[in-house]
Amino acid sequence: MLTTQDMFVQQYYLECLSHASYLIGDPTSGRAVVIDPQRDVAQYIADAQEQGLRIDTVIETHFHADFLSGHLELAAKTGATIVYGIHAADRVEFPIRAMKHGEHINLGEVDLEILETPGHTPESISIVLRKNGPKSEPYAVFTGDTLFIGDVGRPDLLSAVGFSADELAHQLYDSLHNKLMKLPDSTLVYPAHGAGSACGKNLSTETVSTIGEQRRTNYALAPMVVEDFIDAVTQGQTVAPLYFLFAANKNREAHGLLSEDAAVNTLTISEVLQHQKNGAVVIDSRDDMMFAAGHLRHSINVGLTGRFAEYVGEVMQPGTPIILVAEPGYEVEAKTRLGRIGFDNVIGALADPIRTFMEHPEVVEKASRLSIEAFTERVASVKSLNVIDVRNAGEVALGTVPGSQHISLPSMIHEIQNLDPTLPTVVFCAGGYRSSIAASLLRSHGFSDVSDLIGGYTSWSNANIPATLPTTTVHAAAVDTSSLLLDVREEDEWNEGHISGAVHIPMAQLPEKLFEISHGQRIVVVCRSGNRSGKVTAWLLSKGIDAVNMTGGMLEWVKESLPVQSGK
């Protein structure tokens, strides 16, 4: 919060959606505006009253796709005028004030100037704040999704509805360089999102910066021609969550208002089962361990402690009726968080879930969750095992389980039809939160044998391999002339020293290069310590290839003074 004698600025940061909104007031006049509000608006009204301010304007920087904004709620509660950029004028179903580039909102001494900054969306605007009238030095700029801390707004979200990513990226380049970067370096930058938002790919955990700092450190603002800029900001973006188009369209409509803190209907198990039979989706918002211990059959686990609303929006179609299973006392929070993305169709919540499950074991099932040891042994023993990595592409690029199939969580709902529900399946993410969602989603669609990996890829990459895998010692490998030595370390490790005659294929490249070594010969797998090689051994065994792990790896080989060759 920034409070001076002549200005009040409050940032509100909603971690679960990585969303920043703002209350700006002029104490001399008592007037205030809110920029990009979340849908539950009581906090803005309470803070304004505490500061002796009256909210008379709501400014939306664009049609948000990742949340349902609170402009209608604020207008209904305060009588505030809703402001959009001029290019939104013919696309809304409610009264607005459409403002052009260079127009001002005068709060008294505090002045707000509208800048048209299209690129993330065609109607995007930014708002320049001046403390002492329109002629004074810019103090801050509220950039919406045009400029983030460390990134810029992705231009590809509207490519399916009349605007190509390249067209919007051209506009974004102009908005950044010919408008925002013309502001003084000291100008504070207040964006609409921070790290975790799907509206960009490299957002910082910081929520405020300066134009000068962004000029120096933001990759998208480095000197480059527009063609290179387009490549930089369109490549490597994550799959947009399923609900984004729904929310963007909903923000243009005169939709119903959110009723904050309204009670959630309680439902009996019979009522829940009937709604489920009629097409409702049961969302279990308890943590993954409680869900695994026992849950309603065909329910989907999205823990309330994480990015609850966003992930619900990735695994079900908007408008689908929702039944909640929540820890007692958290039903209203779950409903409110769903309302923030426009998922208002919550029928109710199951009454007293634990007691209900104990009294009706016939409708309850447990979730299969695998330890790293159980997972590795399953990879080695189940020939038809389908392993699915549900992380984002950028995470996968840094390493994955050999032989796994990459289907990001936002893509899963579309790819289910292409998967075999009869195959034993294991899903994993980084730590276990998203994989529990994905596994429960698959089970809700009839997959009969689905597990997820406890601790995710982090656990897999850090864990020791199980002792049940076939192994060989370094001395046995040194005199073994009939087997193929396969070194799965990275290239720099290989160049520092390797076993003469060994074949080098880094672990991540092995699935695509397996044909180079799969000729019926026994394979001795080598890495630095025996950990990575153990996992590769398990994977090779699952492919029907005779493989053993060299225990101790190159560390043990060198320790025993066995010969090492350096270089490529």
What gap in Å lies between CA 241 and CA 307, rounded to an integer?
Answer: 12
> Is residue 432 classed as helix, strand or coil in its secondary structure?
coil
- Residue 507: closest CA among 521, 525, 484, 520: 525
Q: Are 516 and 524 in contact (CB under 8 A)?
A: no
Give the H/E segment covering residue 49: helix 42-50
Match 């053993």 to its residue by tokens.
548
What gap in Å lies between CA 121 and CA 150, rounded to an integer?
Answer: 19
Catalytic pick among 16, 199, 429, 527: 527
Q: Are 216 and 41 in contact (CB under 8 A)?
A: no
Q: Which two tokens stand for residue 167?
A: 């067209």
What gap in Å lies between CA 537 and CA 543, rounded to an integer?
Answer: 10
What gap in Å lies between CA 546 and CA 537, rounded to an integer?
Answer: 9
What gap in Å lies between CA 263 and CA 334, rounded to an integer?
Answer: 11
What gap in Å lies between CA 153 and CA 147, rounded to an integer?
Answer: 6
What gap in Å lies between CA 500 and CA 485, rounded to an integer?
Answer: 9
Q: Which two tokens stand for residue 538?
A: 């398990």
- Residue 325: closest CA among 316, 317, 334: 334
Write the DSSP string, 442-454. Answer: HHHTT-SSEEEET
> Is residue 115 classed as helix, strand or coil in its secondary structure?
strand
What gap in Å lies between CA 516 and CA 504, rounded to an integer?
Answer: 11
**Alpha carbon 285 to chain centroid, angstroms:** 17
- Residue 138: closest CA among 188, 205, 104, 85: 188
The residues with which 454 forms a beta bridge, in sequence order, are: none
With vertex at residue 94, the alpha carbon angle to CA 88 and CA 100, rounded to the nearest 5 degrees, is 30
Match 């329109």 to its residue by tokens.
134
Match 């699952």 to its residue by tokens.
542
Give the H/E segment covering residue 74: helix 71-78
Q: Which two tokens stand for residue 64?
A: 């948000």
Pairing of strands 547-550, 471-472: parallel
What gap in Å lies between CA 169 and CA 229, rounded to an integer?
Answer: 8
Residue type (1 letter), 335: K
Q: Are 304 and 334 in contact (CB under 8 A)?
A: yes
527 assigned to active site: yes
Q: Are 154 and 120 in contact (CB under 8 A)?
A: yes
Give the H/E segment covering residue 128: strand 125-130
What gap in Å lies between CA 27 and CA 48, rounded to an integer?
Answer: 10
Classify residue 448 as exposed, middle or buried by CB count within 10 Å of its CB (0-12, 13-18, 19+): exposed
Task: State the catalytic residues.
Answer: 527
